Amino acid sequence: MEIWEAKEIESKNFKAVARLYPRLFERKSLIDDAVFLERYGIFLEKKKKFPLGYLKLWPQDFIVEEITLDEERTTVFPDKFIHKKRGFSPEDPVLYATLVKCGLSTIEAVEELARKLRIEPLDINKIIKYAGLKDKHAITSQIISIKGGSAEKLHQISASYFFLKISFPEKKNYFWEP
């Protein structure tokens, strides 16, 4: 089952439950006056009421970008996109790429990528690794590694909720044991 099919089923199930139990899906504002803010040391003179709002309403409101060991930031923007092939050879033991995703967890994105690359979960020669989990409800970027993967297959990956960019082979080891 593709991730978009699973999300569609999940959405239908949530809507059905929301019709049966609407109170479970009510959203109440946590900040509705200055008294609440004063408990946290925020004092706004002459301001007693505040408009309703959300700190993080859309995934675009929250962007998470990883910083590498070399102090480079992995951006979510599609500059230096993966279609620019960079000297791959069949001998490269590990390929690295920036995974940019939105609307699914790191684990879901890696599982979908493994399916698209036809990597079996128990095949120890072909494993995808990553450092840390990124927010499901944000636009995020992070370095992943694919051991024993095919650069050609990596360049052909397309998905609704994520994309890969800046792929490169690397002799330096980010995630793998020596």
Whether residue 148 is contained in a domain is answered as yes
For 7-47, the pLDDT digits (tens) are 788 889 989 998 999 888 887 665 566 777 777 777 777 77
In this structure, the answer to whether residues 13 and 30 fall within a common structural domain is: yes
* Least confident range of 52-61, 115-124, 144-153, 161-170: 52-61
Tell me the C-alpha to C-alpha distance, in Å, between residue 102 and each of 12, 20, 64, 86, 135: 20, 29, 10, 26, 9
Model confidence band, residue 130 (pLDDT cutoffs 50, 70, 90): confident
In this structure, the answer to whether residues 74 and 119 fall within a common structural domain is: yes
Structure tokens at 14: 């949530």
> What pLDDT is attached to residue 93?
74
**Distance, CA of 7 to CA of 28 (rounded, Å):** 25
Burial pattern 73-106, b for ≥16 Cβ within 10 A else e, equals ebbbeeeeebeeeeebeeebebbbbbbbbbbbeb
Strand ranges inside the chain, DSSP E: 63-65, 94-102, 127-130, 139-147, 162-169
pTM: 0.64
**Distance, CA of 78 to CA of 102 (rounded, Å):** 13
Whether residue 177 is contained in a domain is answered as no
In this structure, the answer to whether residues 68 and 138 fall within a common structural domain is: yes
* pLDDT(178) > 60: no
Q: How many domains does the chain have?
A: 2
Summary mean pLDDT of the chain? 77
**Residue 149 near residue 136 (C-beta atoms within 8 A):** no
In this structure, the answer to whether residues 86 and 72 fall within a common structural domain is: yes
Q: Which domain holds residue 3?
A: 1-53
